[in-house]
Amino acid sequence: MEQVKGRLIALGGGDDESLIKLIRLNICELTSRIEVIATATPLPSDAVVSGNAYKEAFEELGCSQVHFMHIDELHPADTPDHLARIQQADVIFFTGGDQVRLAGFLNGTALLDLMRHRYKTEDIIIAGTSAGAAIMSDRMIYNGYGHYSLIKGEMKTAEGCSLIKRVYIDTHFAERGRFGRLAHAIAHDPDYVGIGLSEETGIIIKAGDQVEVFGPGVVTIIDGSQIRFSNTRTVEENDPIAVENLKMHLLVHGYRYCLREHLFQPVPRAERVAPQALPETK
């Protein structure tokens, strides 16, 4: 089995300040070269504001080499400067917004190919919040709300950026009523694992397999490996779905889920990400 050397960090959205502090405290060195990409924000002017806000958040925690990478309709991904910066980056951070927009600008680019290669072969960190987390897998959910998402045709998926495969990562999970759409996605694709991130909650995925929680929240895991029946591929459009034996787990700090083995287990204390945040900077 292929060994992945990089780490993925996915944040559930909302107020990321405490989670950014935890990333800095546990993972990110003061001299880490950080590239912030805000392409998911639809309006270019807002993307600049969002990108610079995260840049400043890292700088306020003492990081000295933080940069905003501008990629949009007027700024293509595959410039020599962008490629050189991604080659040198220690941390790549994707902000939130529209995951379809973000994946659309990255898929098919040499820039994304370089990110994937470095993620597999080097100890690089690729992180994202909200839409920036959703694009990490080969498939992503981009539509579906509340009980309507349990109706065939209401939950929609699209191609992600394939840093990891056979996982659906959904964000703002509890706050925006997204259990139904993640359950629907796993019922339709039972060889995938669903990861639901509530706001102010994060996960780190190590070796492309081990999902560990950091922050104070709860992460929902939906496992379709033991489904005995699902009608998602046969039921008519606009009819409700049915599924038998869909499993669910709730992860908190101190526990992890192994994707390949479908295994829930405690994290040895020596390996845990510290739960506390950094003290306030002055």
What dihedral do alpha carbons 45, 47, 49, 55 form, nearest 10°? -150
In a domain, 273, yes or no: no
- Domain boundaries, position 162: 7-266
Domain CATH code at residue 142:
3.40.50.880
What dihedral do alpha carbons 170, 90, 161, 140 form, nearest 10°? 0
In a domain, 280, yes or no: no
CB 170 within 8 A of CB 197: yes
**117 Cβ neighbours under 8 A, 6+ residues apart:** none
Question: Is pLDDT larger for residue 23 or for residue 3?
Answer: 23
**Is pTM beyond 0.85 here?**
yes
Q: Which of 26-30, 109-113, 183-187, 198-202 has the lowest mean pLDDT?
A: 26-30
In a domain, 276, yes or no: no
In a domain, 2, yes or no: no
- Using the predicted structure, report yes or no on whether residue 21 has a pLDDT greater than 50: yes
pLDDT of the residue at 2: 64
In a domain, 275, yes or no: no
In a domain, 281, yes or no: no
In a domain, 106, yes or no: yes
Number of domains in the chain: 1
Report pLDDT digits (tens) over 226-251.
Answer: 999 999 999 999 999 999 999 999 99
pLDDT of the residue at 281: 42
Report pLDDT digits (tens) over 154-199.
Answer: 999 999 999 999 999 999 999 999 999 999 999 999 999 999 999 9
pLDDT grade for 22, boundaries at 50, 70 and 90: confident
- Using the predicted structure, report yes or no on whether residue 68 has a pLDDT greater than 70: yes
pLDDT of the residue at 280: 47
pLDDT of the residue at 269: 85
pLDDT grade for 274, boundaries at 50, 70 and 90: low
Query: How many Cα atoms within 13 Å fall on the side-chain side of residue 5?
Result: 11
**33 Cβ neighbours under 8 A, 6+ residues apart:** 65, 67, 85, 88, 89, 90, 91
In a domain, 277, yes or no: no
Report pLDDT digits (tens) over 111-150.
Answer: 999 999 999 999 999 999 999 999 999 999 999 999 999 9
